[in-house]
Homo-oligomer: A and B are copies of this chain.
Amino acid sequence: MLAVCWHYDVSARELDAIAGMGKIMKIEDIGEQGLLTILQRFCPQEIVGDDAAVIATQADRSLVITTDMLVDGVHFSDRTTGPYYAGWRAAAANLSDLAAMGATPLAVTVALGVSGNTAVEWVEEFYRGMTACLQQYHAPIVGGDIVRSPAVTAAITAFGEVAENRTIRRSNARSNWAIVATGVHGASRAGLELLLHPEFGQNLAGVDRTSLIISHQHPTPRLDVLPVLWEILDAENREISIAGMDSSDGLADAIVQICRASKVGARIERLRIPVPRAIEQIVSTQTALNWALYGGEDFELVLCLPSDLAEKLIHILGNGSAIVGKMTDCSDILLVDSTGTYADEELKISKGFQHF
């Protein structure tokens, strides 16, 4: 099978992982990135690689499409998230992908796999959670499919539309632009920890505990950021293509992905990363920073734009939004400490969830 491996264009490390000649290559041998590399060959290169696909349907407007699959025991679990919140989170994750592209939601479809043994109430609560989230953004469920499956599985596809010149892409960032996080990070990871270990963080005030848990179970897609952004651009009469993505795979992942796609570097200021104060009451500053950078599922937007516009944006947004650093023309993506306590550190692609 070695010829096939070369054909697949997997890395030397992945090739090393394949023990012997003639072995049937499994997905666990090549990992998620190896599989992605293979599957992207079947897609037009100009289209994939953002949070969602963009298809020009009219002269000045595009259709934006994103799809997510969620599997019971992998993406949600009754242990931490009942069906209502699993549904809410599934909808929120898809709408967050649309927000990351600058798109206004139109509708979603939901394909659902369940076994005969699945409780009807579970399914109904899942749909109730989804629609509660979707209704806030006037995005109806317009269709779907129901099939038998050994594990409860939901595949959600969300559609939105965006004006061609307002499309937010990972590849739009430029050197010297500011990097904005639209809100605090690490809260979802902390909330998950509190749900998994009820004995943990007993010293937290009730309101702080609830707030962290809500961050995990009931995230808000940041579609509200878009009109603010357009208003700032319109007021300045500036035609700028903003760069960005959402932080569903972590703040660090978002920054690294934008840098790679835009072929720029970044300097992130350690002290500027917005971490909820409650987290530092339950874990060390270093762990809190790790959760903020790599925890994921905060569903904020990470936007890159000229500094003066970024200042205006966080002034209006408030609520933990911050300029966390700036793009550079180097290739390094560095976490720096202006107080000099910590040495510079290379930001990595997500240390978070890996599927295989």
Residues of A whose CB lies within 8 Å of any CB of B are 4, 8, 24-30, 32, 34-36, 38-39, 42-44, 47-48, 52-53, 55, 57-58, 63, 65-71, 74-75, 106-107, 109-121, 123-124, 127-128, 130-131, 140-151, 153, 155, 157, 159, 161, 355-356
CB pair A65–B143 under 8 Å, yes or no, is yes
CB pair B57–A155 under 8 Å, yes or no, is no
CB pair B69–A147 under 8 Å, yes or no, is yes
- Ordered nearest first, which 6 A-B pairs have the shortest CB separation? A155-B155, A28-B116, A53-B142, A69-B111, A53-B143, A157-B157
Give which listed residue, B28, B130, B149, B153, contacts A42 with CB less than 8 A: B130
Given A36-B146, A140-B44, A67:B109 Cβ within 8 A: yes
- Given pairs A43-B144, A57-B161, 11 additional interface contacts (CB within 8 A): A26-B118, A27-B114, A27-B123, A35-B114, A39-B123, A42-B130, A42-B131, A47-B107, A52-B143, A55-B106, A63-B63
23 contacts between A and B (CB under 8 A): A24-B119, A26-B118, A26-B119, A27-B119, A28-B116, A30-B120, A35-B114, A42-B131, A43-B142, A48-B143, A55-B107, A57-B63, A57-B161, A63-B159, A65-B109, A65-B142, A69-B112, A71-B148, A109-B157, A145-B155, A149-B151, A149-B153, A159-B159
Bound together, the chains give a CA A17 to CA B76 distance in angstroms of: 30
Q: Which residues of B contact A116 (CB under 8 A)?
A: 26-28, 356
Bound together, the chains give a CA A65 to CA B63 distance in angstroms of: 12
Bound together, the chains give a CA A143 to CA B101 distance in angstroms of: 14
Q: Which residues of B contact A58 (CB under 8 A)?
A: 57-58
Q: Which chain B residue has the least Cβ–Cβ distance from A157?
A: B157
CB pair B143–A66 under 8 Å, yes or no, is yes
